[in-house]
């Protein structure tokens, strides 16, 4: 019998009688072609045995070491409260809040998530999340085409996370590459038929870009400016909405989501009030119930696939509600000061590390470019440095394949770890 | 109007979390960043203490229903029990702390989980190749259709401009076809609610890239002509894609490959019990034939002896996710399948038993437009003069999450009931009892329902008219 099924043989017998068939097989009389063999899967394990396998495989990963990898996913502190809230069954085991009367918990938490994203980005409306940062970027690319009524064509530089760019391309949007010099993008020559201009800040190499210049360039050719921002950075950097960006998107993973080998994370998207009808995905709005009591409900549903079908803004249905809730709880715990402190700690530690590396004779690739917590250090042999780091019990930075190592430093790293990193890298170099 | 948002519960200067002290000396942001880049006004966020945060979100959760609290027969969504062992698996520190860009050699455990899960899904579908990367069902659809598109492009066949979609299809199907750059053409149904094969024969031609079929379809009826349908498509050089959201009806009873399916998606968050989380995250893994395998997203996991690695399939459509997909959901589904093995067939048997039981018990009082064997779900209609919406809201007062309503679109006042296999006969009897009672109730009074939920019916038009989507 199936493991999580309550039925006894008598239950099954009684139910088959009511249905008017003899056997369970009869319930599949209409199925053709039938599969009549046994599934070639390993024999069923008890919970205890299955979890023992989980532990066994977990040991085959290198884990528990200080991590200097970033490049779109960051090893940040996740407060215990986040996990406690999102494992509440009422949140965990519910689905899309189509029945608002019994989904106010999810709906209000989405409303709070949207509010947080609006506050951070300086843009009026946010959606309830999309799959991840890369998909937020790709959806934004499509959105610029709808809003400008142009063919989807976006201008990006190497400063955009290459994985984001790849997803844009998978979505069949034309990509034009802007020049990238000394760590920042040159926006002076944007094609005049572009639908969007993308600026990631801090960019893939950790450098803070000029969102104002990007938006001026975009608006100059009638395109939209899309800013791609790490939400933690927005605690200290000017909100993209205040710098002329029309759309802001990004990866919400740094807000309380474990690394978990790449997901689930959550993508966020925000835009100004006039563009809201072109946002993909769900939007939660405030309203009242029959008694005039304030309540929340999914709104502007005419944009979505279940209503508009082939003409919908996007096919997205299930999004990342639970991880968006994690971001909401994380931000509540941190507050504006806590977020700023996370950012400042990371900046302090990253700059300490960069200074120490320089002092040991190594060079940063973009020595004059402003950065927060991620930077590129030039090494004679990145691969060897990473091997040496692993031997010393650390996970090194991203090997860029061109002599550069992209190093990320979060609030989790201690002085001791940073000093050890310098020691190993300087030696291996 | 007074709201109850987290932001109203704080006071300037309160903090909910203490961070480690700065042990390296402070870097002044003003010294390392240009002045224009610095934020002038801080975000207006809640300033609250941890106890307040816990109480706020705990109380919010109590205004929500989940499978844990109530029977939740939401058709097409497979709201089955979510085993807690899956959560333990996904929260294992050596997985939770793994960075997606750690070299493969440092992530062999994770890669092995992915490789095994690929194998499990391959076995369940009969299809040889799998990609776990799509982040939800709709993205699995898009991935599949983009793979079909890439196949034709790489074969120099640029005349394939349409994708056929039955009128019963979930909204994500036509939306996917459009997003992939195809014209979505709707195809009609026969008297069983299944794809009309005669119409199909007329519609299929050299412009057809694929048909998107859902099996069992969204009426809960098995598409009994699926083999013939795939033959028609294959003769025209087109592909059969299967929306596998309803795989809970097929495990160990039908394998899509044997029905001629070329590519399909799974919803791990339905069939394999990963929690729905209030609307995600999901995982929309796909499985496909050898012909389409080279077009899978980058990367797939391969095994060489004892070594697992990521590889880019030769003609890959590219990436559909930033990293490797929703790995946490993969771990959960993998654990679930390991706890079932070949007994997965019992899951399907019990799911189908439960749905047919509800069908048999409701028939006579509720309309059953396709009153024949159903699979894991059944579509019914309220008695004459009553609305699906009112019955749904009435069910809330009886303590049941309503079924899916007004979908599939082809059935008027549709109520799509999917009990799943994890519900007992007693629960189903009580639920049927409630529906039978509601059928007798005064239609006008029912318009007042729900009366015992956290809120009453909402003014949905107002939410759109006076959009307020933030504090
Ligand atoms: C039949 C069907 N197809 C596709 C989907 C889309 O799946 P997802 O919501 O995971 O994107 C759903 C469910 O939502 C569905 O019921």
pLDDT in tens, B367-419: 999 999 999 999 999 999 999 999 999 999 999 999 999 999 999 999 999 99
Distance B33 CA to ligand 1 centre (A): 45
Residue nearest to atom 16 of ligand 1 (CA): B76
Instruction: Note whether residue A26 is domain-resident.
Output: no
Whether B185 and B288 share a structural domain:
yes
Sign of CA dihedral A41, A46, A49, A55: positive
pLDDT above 90: residue B276: yes
Instruction: Tell which of A330, A347, A379 closes a domain.
Output: A330
- What pLDDT sits at residue A225? 98
pLDDT above 60: residue B342: yes
pLDDT above 70: residue A292: yes
Whether B251 and B312 share a structural domain:
yes
- Tokens representing B95 are 């997985």
Instruction: Tell which of A307, A330, A353 closes a domain.
Output: A330
- Give the gyration radius of chain A's Cα atoms: 25
Average confidence score pLDDT of chain B: 97
pLDDT class of A429 with cuts at 50, 70, 90: low
Would you tell me which residues 237-276 of chain A have a C-beta closer than 8 angstroms to some C-beta of chain B?
A: 237-239, 242, 251, 258-266, 273, 276
CB atoms within 10 A of CB B161: 14
Whether A202 and A269 share a structural domain:
yes
Tell me what the mean pLDDT of segment A14-19 comes to. Answer: 98
| DSSP assignment letter at A320 | -
Strands A374-378 and A398-399, bridge-based pairing: unpaired
Whether A291 and A349 share a structural domain:
no
Q: In a 3-state reduction of DSSP, which class is residue A107? A: helix
pLDDT above 60: residue B132: yes
Whether B311 and B374 share a structural domain:
no
Percent share of chain A, pLDDT over 90: 98
Whether B231 and B370 share a structural domain:
no
Whether A297 and A413 share a structural domain:
no
Contact B343 A3 (CB under 8 A): yes
DSSP states of A121-177 as a string?
HT-SEE-S-BS-HHHHHHHHHHHHHHHHTS--EEEE-TTS-HHHHHHHHHTT-EEEE
Question: How many domains in chain B?
Answer: 2
Task: Give CA–CA dist A196/A271, Å, rounded.
Answer: 13
Contact A94 B109 (CB under 8 A): no
Whether B318 and B205 share a structural domain:
yes
Whether A237 and A267 share a structural domain:
yes
Cβ atoms B355, B374 nearer than 8 A: yes
- What pLDDT sits at residue A1? 63
Instruction: Tell which of A330, A353, A381 closes a domain.
Output: A330
Tell me what the mean pLDDT of segment A241-257 comes to. Answer: 98
Instruction: Note whether residue B114 is domain-resident.
Output: yes
Whether B354 and B318 share a structural domain:
no
Q: For B165-179, how does the pLDDT look when each residue is reduced to its tens digit (9 = 90+)?
A: 999 999 999 999 999
pLDDT class of B3 with cuts at 50, 70, 90: confident
Sign of CA dihedral A254, A247, A278, A157: negative
Instruction: Note whether residue B463 is domain-resident.
Output: no
Whether A322 and A390 share a structural domain:
no
Which of A87, A134, A371 lies at the smallest CB-CB distance from B322? A134
Contact B276 A258 (CB under 8 A): no
Cβ atoms A363, A377 nearer than 8 A: yes
Q: Is the CB of B283 under 6 A from ligand 1?
A: no
Specify the CATH number for the domain of residue A371: 3.90.1150.10
Whether B288 and B390 share a structural domain:
no
Q: In a 3-state reduction of DSSP, which class is residue B307? A: strand
Specify the CATH number for the domain of residue A150: 3.40.640.10
Answer whether A229 touches B (CB < 8 Å). no
Instruction: Note whether residue B73 is domain-resident.
Output: no
Q: Which residues of A touch B178 (CB under 8 A)?
A: 310-312, 315
- Give the gyration radius of chain B's Cα atoms: 25
Q: What are phi and psi of A174, to 5 degrees?
A: -75, 135
For residue A218, give its domain range.
Answer: 80-330
Tell me what the mean pLDDT of segment B288-296 comes to. Answer: 98
Which of A167, A319, A334 lies at the smallest CB-CB distance from B280? A319
Instruction: Note whether residue B21 is domain-resident.
Output: no
Cβ atoms B210, B230 nearer than 8 A: no
Instruction: Note whether residue A252 is domain-resident.
Output: yes
Distance B172 CA to ligand 1 centre (A): 7
Q: What is the dihedral of CA B297, B269, A102, A83, to 10 degrees?
A: -90
Instruction: Tell which of B299, B320, B341 closes a domain.
Output: B341
Instruction: Tell which of B341, B376, B403 closes a domain.
Output: B341
Specify the CATH number for the domain of residue B362: 3.90.1150.10
Whether B96 and B216 share a structural domain:
yes
Task: Give CA–CA dist A153/B187, Å, rounded.
Answer: 33
**Predicted ipTM > 0.90:** yes
Whether B260 and B116 share a structural domain:
yes
For residue B146, give its domain range.
Answer: 87-341
Q: For B232-243, how does the pLDDT look when each residue is reduced to its tens digit (9 = 90+)?
A: 999 999 999 999
Whether A209 and A354 share a structural domain:
no
Question: How many domains in chain A?
Answer: 2
Whether A196 and A302 share a structural domain:
yes
- What pLDDT sits at residue B415? 98
Percent share of chain B, pLDDT over 90: 99
Cβ atoms A157, A197 nearer than 8 A: no
Tell me what the mean pLDDT of segment A227-241 comes to. Answer: 98
CB atoms within 10 A of CB A35: 21
Instruction: Note whether residue B368 is domain-resident.
Output: yes
Whether A226 and A316 share a structural domain:
yes
Instruction: Note whether residue A11 is domain-resident.
Output: no
Task: Give CA–CA dist A243/A225, Å, rounded.
Answer: 10
Element (H, E) at A117: helix A104-121
Whether B253 and B352 share a structural domain:
no
pLDDT class of A428 with cuts at 50, 70, 90: confident
Instruction: Note whether residue A103 is domain-resident.
Output: yes
- Non-local CB neighbours of A292 within 8 Å, separated by 6+ positions: none
Whether B363 and B333 share a structural domain:
no
Angle between the B425-440 and B344-362 helix axes, to the nearest 10 degrees? 30
Average confidence score pLDDT of chain A: 97
Whether A326 and A340 share a structural domain:
no
Whether A272 and A371 share a structural domain:
no
Contact B455 A59 (CB under 8 A): no
pLDDT above 80: residue B280: yes
CB atoms within 10 A of CB B2: 7
Largest CA distance in chain A: 83
Question: B222's torsion region: left (phi>0), alpha (psi -120 to 50) or beta?
Answer: beta
Task: Give CA–CA dist B167/B175, Å, rounded.
Answer: 13
Task: Give CA–CA dist B374/B364, Å, rounded.
Answer: 16
Q: Closest approach of chain B CAs to the CA of A66, in angstroms?
A: 10
Instruction: Note whether residue A49 is domain-resident.
Output: no
Q: How many residues can be counted in chain B?
A: 471
Which of B1, B81, B96 lies at the smallest CB-CB distance from A260? B96
pTM equals 0.98
Instruction: Note whether residue A297 is domain-resident.
Output: yes
Task: Give CA–CA dist A110/A126, Å, rounded.
Answer: 10
Percent share of chain B, pLDDT over 70: 100
Whether A120 and A185 share a structural domain:
yes
Task: Give CA–CA dist B327/B248, Å, rounded.
Answer: 21
Specify the CATH number for the domain of residue B280: 3.40.640.10
Q: How many residues can be counted in chain A?
A: 429
Q: Closest approach of chain A CAs to the CA of B445, in angstroms?
A: 14
Mutate to test the interface with B, among A29, A166, A209, A263 (most CBs of B within 10 A): A263
Q: Is the CB of B142 under 6 A from ligand 1?
A: no
Q: Which residue of B has its CA nearest to A133?
A: B322
Instruction: Note whether residue B34 is domain-resident.
Output: no
Q: What are phi and psi of B273, to 5 degrees?
A: 65, 20
Instruction: Note whether residue B354 is domain-resident.
Output: yes
Q: Closest approach of chain A CAs to the CA of B440, in angstroms?
A: 22
- Non-local CB neighbours of B166 within 8 Å, separated by 6+ positions: B186, B187, B188, B189, B195, B211, B212, B213, B214, B217
Instruction: Tell which of B341, B372, B407 closes a domain.
Output: B341
- Cα→Cα distances A276→A242, A281, A287, A313, Å: 18, 11, 18, 11
Q: Is A36 exposed, middle or buried (0-12, 13-18, 19+ CB in 10 A)?
A: exposed
Q: For B411-452, how does the pLDDT look when each residue is reduced to its tens digit (9 = 90+)?
A: 999 999 999 999 999 999 999 999 999 999 999 999 999 999
- What pLDDT sits at residue A100? 97
Q: For B179-220, how does the pLDDT look when each residue is reduced to its tens digit (9 = 90+)?
A: 999 999 999 999 999 999 999 999 999 999 999 999 999 999
Instruction: Note whether residue B80 is domain-resident.
Output: no
Whether B115 and B224 share a structural domain:
yes
pLDDT above 60: residue B454: yes
Whether A95 and A126 share a structural domain:
yes
- What pLDDT sits at residue B1? 62
pLDDT class of B96 with cuts at 50, 70, 90: very high
């Amino acid at each position: 019998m199936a493991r999580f099924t309550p039925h006894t043989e008598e239950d099954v017998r009684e139910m088959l009688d009511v249905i008017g068939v003899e056997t369970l097989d009869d319930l599949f009389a209409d199925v053709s072609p039938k599969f009549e063999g046994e599934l070639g899967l390993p024999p069923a394990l008890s919970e205890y045995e299955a979890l023992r396998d989980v532990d066994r495989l977990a040991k085959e990963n290198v884990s528990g070491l200080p991590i200097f990898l970033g490049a779109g996913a960051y090893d940040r502190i996740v407060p215990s409260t986040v996990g406690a809230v999102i494992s509440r069954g009422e949140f965990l085991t519910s689905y899309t809040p189509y029945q608002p009367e019994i989904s106010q918990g999810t709906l209000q938490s989405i409303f709070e998530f949207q509010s947080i994203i609006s506050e951070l980005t300086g843009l009026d409306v946010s959606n309830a999340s999309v799959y991840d940062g890369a998909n937020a970027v790709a959806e934004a690319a499509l959105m610029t085409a709808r809003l400008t009524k142009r063919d989807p064509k976006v201008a990006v530089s190497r400063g955009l996370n290459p994985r984001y760019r790849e997803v844009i391309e998978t979505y069949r949007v034309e990509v034009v590459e802007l020049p990238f010099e000394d760590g920042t993008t040159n926006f002076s020559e944007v094609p005049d038929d572009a639908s969007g201009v993308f600026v990631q800040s801090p960019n893939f190499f950790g450098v803070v870009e000029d969102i104002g210049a990007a938006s001026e360039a975009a608006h100059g050719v009638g395109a939209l400016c899309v800013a791609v921002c790490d939400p933690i950075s927005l605690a200290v950097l000017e909100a993209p909405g205040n710098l002329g960006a029309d759309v802001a998107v990004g990866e919400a993973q740094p807000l309380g989501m474990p690394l978990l080998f790449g997901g689930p994370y959550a993508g966020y998207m925000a835009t100004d009030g006039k563009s809201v009808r072109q946002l993909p995905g769900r939007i939660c709005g405030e309203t009242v119930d029959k008694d005039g009591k304030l309540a929340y409900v999914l709104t502007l549903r005419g944009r979505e696939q279940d209503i508009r079908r082939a003409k919908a803004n996007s096919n997205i249905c299930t999004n990342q509600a639970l991880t968006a809730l994690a971001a909401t709880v994380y931000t509540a715990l941190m507050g504006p000061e806590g977020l700023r402190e996370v950012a400042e700690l990371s900046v302090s530690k990253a700059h300490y590390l960069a200074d120490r590396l320089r002092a040991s004779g190594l060079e940063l690739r973009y020595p004059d470019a402003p950065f927060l917590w991620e930077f590129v250090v030039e090494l004679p042999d990145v691969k060897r440095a990473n091997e040496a780091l692993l031997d010393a019990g650390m996970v090194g930075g991203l090997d860029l394949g061109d002599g550069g190592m992209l190093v990320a430093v979060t609030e989790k790293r201690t002085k001791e770890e940073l000093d050890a990193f310098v020691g190993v890298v300087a030696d291996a170099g | 109007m007074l709201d109850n948002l987290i932001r109203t519960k704080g006071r300037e200067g309160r903090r909910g979390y203490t961070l480690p002290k700065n042990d390296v000396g402070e870097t002044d942001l003003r010294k390392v960043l240009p002045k224009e880049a610095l934020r002038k006004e801080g975000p207006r966020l809640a300033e609250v203490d941890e106890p307040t945060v816990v109480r706020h979100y705990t109380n919010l959760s109590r205004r929500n229903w989940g499978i844990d609290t109530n029977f939740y027969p939401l058709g097409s969504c497979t709201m089955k029990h979510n085993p807690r062992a899956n959560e333990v698996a996904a929260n294992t520190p050596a997985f939770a702390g793994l960075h997606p860009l750690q070299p493969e050699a440092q992530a062999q455990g994770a890669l092995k989980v992915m490789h095994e899960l690929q194998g499990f899904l391959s076995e369940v579908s009969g299809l040889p190749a799998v990609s776990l990367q799509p982040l939800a069902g709709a993205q699995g659809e898009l991935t599949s259709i983009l793979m079909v598109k890439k196949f034709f492009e790489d074969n120099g066949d640029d005349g394939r401009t349409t994708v056929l979609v039955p009128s019963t299809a979930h909204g994500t199907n036509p939306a996917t076809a459009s997003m992939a750059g195809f014209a979505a053409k709707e195809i009609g149904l026969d008297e069983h609610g299944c794809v009309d094969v005669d119409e199909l024969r007329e519609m299929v031609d050299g412009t057809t890239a694929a048909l998107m079929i859902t099996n069992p379809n969204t009426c809960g009826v098995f598409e009994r002509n699926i083999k013939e349908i795939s033959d028609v498509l294959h003769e025209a050089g087109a592909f059969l894609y299967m929306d596998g959201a309803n795989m809970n009806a097929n495990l160990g009873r039908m394998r899509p490959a044997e029905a001629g399916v070329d590519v399909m998606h799974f919803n791990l968050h339905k069939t394999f019990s990963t929690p729905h989380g209030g609307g995600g995250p999901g995982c929309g893994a796909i499985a496909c034939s050898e012909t389409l395998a080279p077009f899978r997203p980058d990367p797939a996991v391969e095994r060489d002896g004892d070594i697992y690695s990521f590889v880019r399939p030769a003609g890959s459509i590219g990436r559909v996710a930033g990293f490797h997909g929703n790995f946490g959901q993969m771990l959960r589904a993998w654990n679930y399948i390991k706890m079932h093995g070949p007994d997965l067939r019992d899951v399907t048997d019990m799911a189908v038993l439960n749905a047919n039981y509800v069908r048999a018990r409701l028939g006579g009082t509720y309309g059953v437009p396709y009153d024949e064997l159903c699979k894991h779900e059944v579509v019914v209609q309220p008695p004459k003069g009553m609305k699906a919406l009112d019955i749904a809201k009435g069910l809330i007062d009886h303590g049941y999450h309503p079924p899916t309503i007004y979908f599939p679109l082809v059935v008027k006042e549709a109520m799509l009931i999917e009990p799943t296999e994890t519900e007992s006969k007693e629960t189903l009897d009580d639920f049927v009892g409630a529906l039978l009672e509601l059928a007798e109730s005064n239609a006008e009074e029912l318009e007042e329902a729900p009366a015992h939920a956290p809120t009453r019916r909402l003014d949905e038009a107002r939410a759109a008219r006076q959009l307020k989507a933030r504090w």
